[in-house]
Amino acid sequence: MRRTIALAAAAAATTAARRVARFRPDDRPVEPVDLTGLDADAAAGRLAELIRIPTVSSRDRSQVDPAVFERYRACLAELYPRTHAALDREQLGDGALLYRWRGTTDEPPLVLMAHQDVVPVEGQEWSRDPFSGVIADGHVHGRGAIDDKGSMVAILEAVEALVADGFTPRRDVYLSFGDDEEVAGVGARLAVQAFTDRGITPWAVIDEGGAVVSGMFPGVPGQVAVVGLAEKGLLDVELVTTDPGGHASAPVRGGAPARLAKAILAVEDDPFPARLHDVVLGMVDAIGRRAPLGYRALFAHAAQLRPVLAQVLARAGREAGAMVRTTVAVTRLEGSRAGNVLATRAMAHLNIRIALGETVQSTVDRLRRVIGDPSVELRVVSGNDPSPVSRTDNEAFARISAAARAAYPDATVAPYVMVQASDARHFSQICDSVYRFMPFDLSREELATLHAADERISVAALHRGAGFFRHLIRSL
């Protein structure tokens, strides 16, 4: 018996060793992207001009200045005259733009997405005017530099250069530029409806999302180009408690604010479980191959160690943790409107990002169980389930991965789950190859400026991003 056990253990160890030995990255050299004919400084200048137009969106349409967005659309035509001469352009709704670049075949088209609108800057401490579009220290500064005017400029720089060279793509290329992405508006929905009405199924769709990052994964050095295959669901919930109220000089124990506070702490103290979805497992497989031996031995057995790795990622940092569990953020609190009056109503707004494998309903049901207080009313303001997972076994993903490797030869391409919401989720209704990727090399400090103060993008990253899109379009 002991001999049998010893032999089995030896065989298992040999199998594990072989698995680790085979668990290595594909280091075949790639031809770097050709940046000839793409003017980095001119692209930065054009992005700066667009940043100076404050296209701030709002859920309250009365707070949106249509003239600003009209000026932005006019500026696009001035900055990219060849593109506007060669491509068909139509306006959808209040200001979403849809361009069609006709190809030489009737094969399904590529759709490249970006959005015109940006988030507000009020309440943030910027070191310079957020709409100045200053170019300094090798960066373009201002609201929208990354999210998402940088992507729009990179796309248009590529198209403008290709049109100038007399290039015509093999398949149609559509540019879909929404005007209300930041407020979950209708621009992208109108584009999807246009495709549906015309019987068009895209070959692939690329929108904002992952980027080329470093140090995002424990124990793994070097650059990683993370391509989002799916995005988490989005759920907004209000927790509401009520009381008769009265004068604050005679308070009652367990009043509405106290019960609300207990509910918030219950949710905080009992987070959603961490789970390793197949998409995250794919990311571990791709990135883990570049890890040092000790980590590589762990990542090589990721499929067998899902619960352990889920816990590792949950503790690895905010971004990694958000990929493996549903997250809950308390974003607003309301109570009494007077300092000496007991609250008759207390409310907390929860912004929830639903992990793949969960739904709006399962999330709401769990919140109710965790809170366990029928006097706390849970109101769903809005919500949508996580998006479908896009394919990785097709030509589209292979072409996008190849373009990313060409733009960043030292980077590993890996799938991932996008923890934010984007317009891309609407295209998942009509296409099984929707990818979320910004072809920019972004530092942790630059990523931290998204929706925050001092947003900026390096001129070099913008330049290489344009090279990515030109390389991809040429490869169609």
pLDDT score for 316: 80
What is the predicted pLDDT for the residue at 302?
83
What are the residues whose beta carbons fall under 8 Å from the beta carbon of 310, sequence distance 6 or more?
274, 275, 276, 324
Is the predicted pLDDT of residue 17 greater than 60, yes or no? no
pLDDT digits (tens, 9 = 90+) for 303-343: 888 888 888 888 887 888 898 999 999 999 999 999 999 89
User: What is the spatial distance between Cα 11 and Cα 60, in angstroms, rounded to a whole number?
Assistant: 66
∠ CA 146-102-473, nearest 5°, is 45
Contact 363, 232 (CB under 8 A): no
Mean pLDDT of 348-362: 96
Which of 419, 410, 421 has its CA nearest to residue 214?
410
1 token code pair: 């018996």
Q: Which residue has the higher pLDDT, 220 or 198?
A: 198
- pLDDT of amino acid 19: 47
Instruction: For residue 27, name the pLDDT band (cuts at 50, 70, 90).
Output: low
Give dist(CA 378, CA 131) in Å, integer. 39
Q: What pLDDT is attached to residue 296?
A: 77
Strands 434-441 and 204-214: parallel
Task: Give kind and range of the element (H or E) at residue 263.
Answer: helix 256-269
Q: Shortest CA distance to 114 belongs to which of 79, 141, 153?
A: 153
d(CA 356, CA 275): 9
Report the alpha-carbon distance of residue 267 to residue 365 in Å, rounded: 13
- Is-contact 414 225, C-beta < 8 A? yes
Query: If phi over 0 gives left and psi between -120 and 50 gives alpha, with beta otherwise, what is residue 137?
Result: left
Residue 201 neighbours by CB under 8 Å, 6+ apart: 108, 195, 430, 431
Question: How far out from the chain centre does Cα 75 lie?
Answer: 26
**Alpha-helical runs (H) found in 274-388:** 278-288, 293-299, 306-314, 318-324, 360-371
Q: Does residue 22 surpass a pLDDT of 60?
A: no
**Cβ atoms of residues 196 and 132 within 8 Å:** no
Supply 401's token pair: 């991965």
Measured torsion, CA atoms of residues 162, 166, 169, 174, in degrees rounded to the nearest 10: 60
pLDDT at residue 444 is higher than 50: yes
Q: How confident is the model at residue 15 (pLDDT cuts 50, 70, 90)?
A: very low
Report CA torsion sign: 66, 68, 73, 78. Answer: positive
pLDDT digits over 44-89, tens only? Answer: 999 999 999 999 999 888 889 999 999 999 999 999 999 999 999 9
> What is the reported pLDDT for 373?
96
297 in Cβ contact with 315 (< 8 Å): no
* Band (132; pLDDT cuts 50, 70, 90): very high
User: Are 464 and 441 spatial neighbours (Cβ–Cβ below 8 Å)?
Assistant: yes
- Is the pLDDT confidence value at 346 over 80? yes
* φ, ψ dihedrals at 281, nearest 5°: -60, -40
For the beta carbon of residue 226, count every other beta carbon within 10 angstroms.
28
Question: How many other C-beta atoms are found inside a 10 Å radius of the C-beta of residue 15?
Answer: 10
Q: What is the pLDDT of residue 131?
A: 98
Largest pairwise CA distance in the chain = 83
Q: What are phi and psi of 164, to 5 degrees?
A: -60, -30
Question: Cβ contacts of residue 272 below 8 Å, gap of 6+?
Answer: 325, 326, 327, 328, 355, 358, 363, 366
- Smallest Cα–Cα separation from 441: which of 224, 138, 221? 224
Task: Show Cβ contacts of residue 66 under 8 Å, excluding neighbours closer than 6 positions.
Answer: 94, 95
* Domains of the chain, each with CATH number or no CATH: 40-229+388-474 (3.40.630.10), 231-384 (3.30.70.360)
Give me the pLDDT at residue 245, please: 87
Other C-beta atoms closer than 10 Å to the C-beta of 269 total 8
Sequence letter at residue 443: S
Query: Is the predicted pLDDT of residue 21 greater than 80, yes or no?
Result: no
DSSP one-letter code for 170: S
| Helix-helix angle 459-474:40-51, to 10 degrees | 110
3-state secondary structure of 208: strand
pLDDT digits (tens, 9 = 90+) for 391-440: 999 999 999 999 999 999 989 999 999 988 899 999 999 999 999 999 99
More confident residue, 388 or 320: 388
Note the pLDDT tens digit of each residue in 140-194.
999 999 999 999 999 999 999 999 999 999 999 999 999 999 998 999 999 999 9
pLDDT at 9: 42
Residue 12 pLDDT exceeds 70? no
- 3-state DSSP percent of the chain in helix, strand and coil, to 5: 40, 25, 40
Tokens of 246: 């009265």
Q: Say whether pLDDT at 8 is over 50.
A: no
The pTM assigned to this predicted structure is 0.90
**Mean of pLDDT values over 442-467:** 96
Q: What proportion of the chain, given as a percentage, has pLDDT over 90?
A: 76
Q: Mean pLDDT, to the nearest integer, of 222-245?
A: 94
Average pLDDT value over all residues in the chain: 91
End-to-end CA distance of the chain: 61
